[in-house]
A and B are shown apart, each in its own frame.
Chain A
């Protein structure tokens, strides 16, 4: 009997161990770090709230936050509109729907590095395909990645292309849960395609829209690979994302304490935004 008593604990032990080492400890340790100065080599030095004070005065960090928000403002609506439009098309009985479904999903599973390098070729100033097409029709070249006013939006379009397949699948599932009878009833009421979409589809897939907004917000906030490879945060720090800045602080300058502070603050920011979104969508309902 006594032996049996320990079996459940034994069974959950691997998970608890994993959780403690890879989740709980890093979280607690990074909170502790926010009150210290540490460059990995020298011993940690307690500095109280200095890191937080520095954060609020750090113009580059706020620039990175602003850049990330600029990215999100384009990326999230674009992602939703494109994904929903593609899902609507696939939801109709089009020929080769399964091919398109796979094709749209392909970029999601391809490595972000590969996709980024591919788009670098597309968007290059002199030899990029897009600019060659523009010059072919006698239009001026565009500095897709070299103009501080444009670069972040180019990255947003690329990130949308990379991720949209996932959201197409989510929307497709959402659309297929809307019973056909609602559309039939609306047909009899004289609704046009747009009215059916506006008054039936949109309200009924609201939960899916919320999921997509939250997922792409969280995903968008962690923007890193694309600017890191394509622009290294330039030109003039215009594509420096928050996560990239946190990474630089930690692994280029070894400001581990400050980097942890930025990370901690940034996590709170994401939480706040997602909670706001949730409240807004609940009100809408």
Chain B
């Protein structure tokens, strides 16, 4: 789910939280930790992008051993929106194009998570990922 409002405490945000409480009463919507596999399913995501920068994290609901709901409040889809000429419809603030690229990377990672599950959490990947994470640190 993606909140396109781009503001804190939006109406959509309130609806999301109340609806999830009703639909999944045993599971809470919680911020996903930086070590969550969602952030390494394809890109090694270090920052949360989006059209807006409402939250520094992505929230999710875990159920049956996996994250079944991913919720972004930064309007991820807004960062993808283009006009007929291929130009972005909205500016990404405050980070600009870097923030847009981060949003795209996170979106692709979410899709990858849906298609591969916890694949990148397998032990065979860990040494490679840790090494790349070290390389990526400025």
* A and B bind: no
* Chain A residues within 8 Å of B, Cβ to Cβ: none
